[in-house]
Amino acid sequence: MGVSLFAGSVDSEADTLELARNLNFPVAWGMTRDMGDAIGAWWEERRDHIQPSEFLLNGKGRVLASVYSNSPVGRMDPDETVRLMSFLTRDRS
């Protein structure tokens, strides 16, 4: 579909490399609160860490869709995301 996928983590470089070992997209490590704020992520005050924050962007950096979660539930599903991307692409034609 001509898209790019990447992720970021607050984990250390070593922990992130282990996590990303079997992934086929880049994963940034050592994300800070300032970085999270810059991308519009949700920072949890109580435990002082970034919560899952997922964004679907167009080629100009405009947010087309976003998902925020404070638990393992509520993440972007790959199949649903592809359907959404297909819908948005058709809608632009």
pLDDT band at 91 (very low <50, low <70, confident <90, very high): low
Rank 6-15, 45-54, 59-68, 78-87 by mean pLDDT and report only the highest.
6-15
Between 82 and 71, residue with greater pLDDT: 82
Amino acid at 43: W
Alpha carbons 50 and 82: distance in angstroms, whole number:
25
At 86, which amino acid appears? S
pLDDT digits (tens, 9 = 90+) for 4-33: 888 988 899 999 999 999 999 999 999 999
55: its two tokens = 């964004």
Q: Which of 52, 50, 54, 56 is nearest to 37 (CA)?
A: 50
Residues 6+ apart with CB under 8 A from 54: 66, 67, 68, 75, 76
How large is the average pLDDT for residues 47-73?
84
> How high is the pLDDT of residue 46?
87
